[in-house]
Amino acid sequence: MNKGKSDKKKMNSYLKMILLMAAGGVVGGIFGFVTAWSGENFIAAIGHGMNRFLFAIRDHALLLECICGVICIMICEIHFAKMKRMGAQMEDAEDEEYHELQYHIEVSSSWGVIASTVGTVLMMLIISPGYSMKYIESQSDGETWRFLAGIVVFLGIVGYFSLWQVRYIKLIQKLYPEKKGDPTSLKFQEQWLASCDEAEKEEIYQASYKTYLLTGKVLPVCTLAAMLLHMVWNTGVLAIIIPAFLWILSSSNYCRCCVTQKSKKLAR
């Protein structure tokens, strides 16, 4: 009886996978049909609009860098100041208040790390449309100096975000002296994890697994989207290779880590 239910469940899984693949094929077919039916003029208009958007970013890169950089820097500094203030309050706090302050420090640190990461990525995205020798050589002297000024601002802001993360780690280590690790070391994550207690390790493991699940869903979608965009707007094969490579890397590294953990258990 149980075997029959198990076989039925298996068949349902196979059927579900076939239906999902069929749905993907239908969506791709509809997209292709709409693209072909709408004609090249419609596709060209969208491509032209995208190019105008990128050119606008390129022409105003310095201003956009300053605006986005200042906003992200303000978020980082505001939350860093909050962490310092709450860290000072922890010294005289009772148990309940102590744990509440710990939680708020975690929230502020998360906002700071997110802002520094988003700021770094935004700097790269803003400067990318004009980051080519062909564009630089086509500019006049005044325009070239504006581009070089954008490079200087880019390096300065990205350097600030890198230093902010070092400051953040040093502050956490000051609040929790048991936390070890050199933030400039390639083995920092391993050193930090080794200094965490079991409860903190469990939180890190759960967060890491959920991150793996998220990337396992996002990367296939990004790869498929890159394939469709390349078919319509000729975005390039590299745009497909990068998310596909990350998809393979994420999956294979997860399997490798699982096998490594199993082998360590057998060796005990």
Q: Is the pTM of this model over 0.85?
A: no
Query: What is the pLDDT, as a whole number, of residue 37?
Result: 63
The yes-or-no verdict on residue 208 having pLDDT over 80 is yes
Query: What is the pLDDT, as a whole number, of residue 10?
Result: 55
The yes-or-no verdict on residue 206 having pLDDT over 90 is yes
In the chain, pLDDT over 70 holds for what percent of residues?
A: 84
3-state secondary structure the chain: CHHHHHHHHHHHHHHHHHHHHHHHHHHHHHHHHHHHHHHHHHHHHHHHHHHHHHHHHHHCHHHHHHHHHHHHHHHHHHHHHHHHHHHHHHCCCCHHHHHHHHHHHHHHHHHHHHHHHHHHHHHHHHHHHHCCHHHHHCCCHHHHHHHHHHHHHHHHHHHHHHHHHHHHHHHHHHHCCCCCCCCCCCCHHHHHHHCCCHHHHHHHHHHHHHHHHHHHHHHHHHHHHHHHHHHHHCCCCHHHHHHHHHHHHHHHHHHHHHHHHHHHHHHC
Mean pLDDT of 122-147: 77
Query: What is the pLDDT, as a whole number, of residue 3?
Result: 53
What does the pLDDT look like over 139-198, one tens digit per residue? 666 667 888 888 999 999 999 999 999 999 999 999 999 999 898 888 898 899 899 989
What does the mean pLDDT of the chain come to?
84
Mean pLDDT of 76-96: 91
Query: What is the pLDDT, as a whole number, of residue 34?
Result: 63
What does the pLDDT look like over 5-44, one tens digit per residue? 555 555 577 777 777 777 767 776 666 666 666 555 666 6
The yes-or-no verdict on residue 250 having pLDDT over 80 is yes
Mean pLDDT of 219-235: 83
Query: What is the pLDDT, as a whole number, of residue 144?
Result: 76
Query: What is the pLDDT, as a whole number, of residue 1?
Result: 47
Query: What is the pLDDT, as a whole number, of residue 14?
Result: 73
**Band of residue 233 on the pLDDT scale cut at 50, 70, 90:** confident
Q: Which residue has the higher pLDDT, 69 or 268?
A: 69
